[in-house]
Amino acid sequence: MALPERDVLLCRDCCCGTTKKHPEADHRAQRDEIEGLDDPAGRRGPRVRVRVVDCLDECDRSNVVLVRDFTWFPGGRRPKDTWLGGVLSPTSTGAVVDWVRDGGPVPAALQRHVFRGKRG
């Protein structure tokens, strides 16, 4: 199987994805929509692997999504990481899904969510 072109890491468990911290957000719907991108074989577009992780250690910016784009660095070199925080609404979740599926630079709709992660 070919390596994915993009990895999407969806932070969950610690505070991202909890109704305690963000009771207004539909965390299950967000997870379902992002997990719908998972297509490592590339049948519907770019090869995307979605992983739900316990904590990305950016709790003050929850909900956090990390997009790792390997198309920028072919040949197994370090990917281009884009950290997104405050992804709580259906609109911002949809913008993440559309961008990951379509590729290209971070769209204007997500610019306010971009931050430099501790690990990047």
pLDDT score recorded for residue 119: 66
75 CB burial (10 A radius; 0-12, 13-18, 19+)? exposed
Considering just the CA atoms, what is the radius of gyration of the chain in Å?
A: 14
Mean pLDDT of the chain: 88
pLDDT in tens, 43-78: 887 789 999 999 999 999 999 999 998 876 666 666
| Contact indicator for 54, 84 with CB cutoff of 8 Å | no
Percent of the chain topping pLDDT 70 = 91
| Least-confidence region, from 1-5, 40-44, 61-65 | 1-5
| pTM attached to this predicted model | 0.89
Mean pLDDT for the stretch of residues 40-45 = 82
Taking residue 96's Cβ as centre, other Cβ atoms within 10 Å add up to 26
pLDDT score recorded for residue 77: 60
Place of tokens 């784009």: 69
pLDDT in tens, 95-111: 999 999 988 899 999 99
User: Which residues have C-beta within 8 Å of that of residue 39, sequence separation ≥ 6?
Assistant: 45, 47, 48
More confident residue, 20 or 28: 28
Length of the chain equals 120
